[in-house]
Structure 1
Amino acid sequence: MDFYLKEGGMRVNFPYDELDISGNEDYGFRPFQLMVASVAGCSASVFRKILDKKRIDIDDLKISADVERNADEANKIEAIHLHFSVKGAHLDREKLEKSMAIAKKNCSMIRSIEDSVKITETLEIINLSEI
């Protein structure tokens, strides 16, 4: 990847689009937002692949991320909490929780930062068969 100087930050070009990065949200994504998005996106992607392999059908997946930062240490990310909301019919909590645990072990972004950032996860099931 090549990063180029632009007003207020940096830009990187990809075959599908470009990405602006800046410490100021007026000029692009803030670096910590990209870190959290990488963790959530990787986790979601791996989780979905596991569900597909296990033939667990879901209708929707949403991940909310809460971030704890330390202002005394350059706003270092101390913790990321991922809350998975899974919607579908006849969902089994135990199978979903096992799939989340496998996803966490196989998400390259989580594995890259797990020794310096506390990663926690919770699961909410919206079971359409009970609505």
Structure 2
Amino acid sequence: MKFWMRENAFETETEYGKLTVSGNEEYGYRPYQLMVSAIAVCSGGVLRKVMEKQRMKVEDIQIETDVTREPSEANRLTKIALHYTIKGEELKESRVEKAIDLARKNCPMAQTVEGRVELEETFTLV
């Protein structure tokens, strides 16, 4: 990726369009939002694949995030809580818990921050 500096942000072109990133939400996505999005979507996508390989029928997964930051350390991310709301047929909590553990081990974005940012994953079945 190649980024160009603009007055209040940096921009890049992707096959899906322009991506604008700024430390100020008025001008674009904030870097931490992109990091949290990458971890959430990667984790959810791997979870879906794991569940499907284990022959669980998944109709929908929604992911809510909650982020904790440390102001005294450059406002770095210290914790990302992911809560999955999973809709499917005949899903069992014990099998979903194991699938979440396996997905975490196979999500490149989660593994990138492992040991540096606490990742908490919870779920609700509907």
Q: TM exceeds 0.5? A: yes
Post-superposition Cα deviations, 1:96-122, rounded to whole Å, max 9, x if no partner, equal: 111100000000011001121011111
- Verify the 8 A CA contact 2:70 2:78 in the aligned structure 1: yes
Task: Give the whole-Å Cα distance in 1 for the aligned partners of 2:2 and 2:33.
Answer: 20
- Verify the 8 A CA contact 2:62 2:84 in the aligned structure 1: yes
1:45 to partner: Cα distance: 0.8
**In the TM superposition, what are the counterparts of 1:68-83 in structure 2 within 5 Å?**
68-83=68-83
Task: Give the whole-Å Cα distance in 1 for the aligned partners of 2:18 and 2:42.
Answer: 19
- Aligned residue for 1:17? 17
- Aligned residue for 1:7? 7
Q: Are 1:29 and 2:29 counterparts?
A: yes
- Verify the 8 A CA contact 1:13 1:19 in the aligned structure 2: yes
Deviating beyond 2 angstroms after TM superposition, the runs of 4 or more aligned structure 1 residues are: none
Task: Give, as a single letter, the amino acid of the residue that structure 2 aligns with 1:14.
Answer: T
**TM-align CA RMSD:** 0.9
Task: Give the whole-Å Cα distance in 2 for the aligned partners of 1:81 and 1:44.
Answer: 13
Unaligned runs of 5+ in 1: 127-131
Task: Give the whole-Å Cα distance in 2 for the aligned partners of 1:125 and 1:103.
Answer: 17
Task: Give the whole-Å Cα distance in 1 for the aligned partners of 2:33 and 2:16.
Answer: 20
Task: Give the whole-Å Cα distance in 2 for the aligned partners of 1:18 and 1:11.
Answer: 7
**In the TM superposition, what are the counterparts of 1:1-131 in structure 2 within 5 Å?**
1-126=1-126
Task: Give, as a single letter, the amino acid of the residue that structure 2 aligns with 1:96.
Answer: V
Aligned length: 126
Task: Give, as a single letter, the amino acid of the residue that structure 2 aligns with 1:46.
Answer: V
Task: Give the whole-Å Cα distance in 2 for the aligned partners of 1:12 and 1:27.
Answer: 14
Identity of aligned residues (%): 40
- Aligned residue for 1:129? none
Post-superposition Cα deviations, 1:45-101, rounded to whole Å, max 9, x if no partner, equal: 100111121121122111111000011111110100111110122111111111100
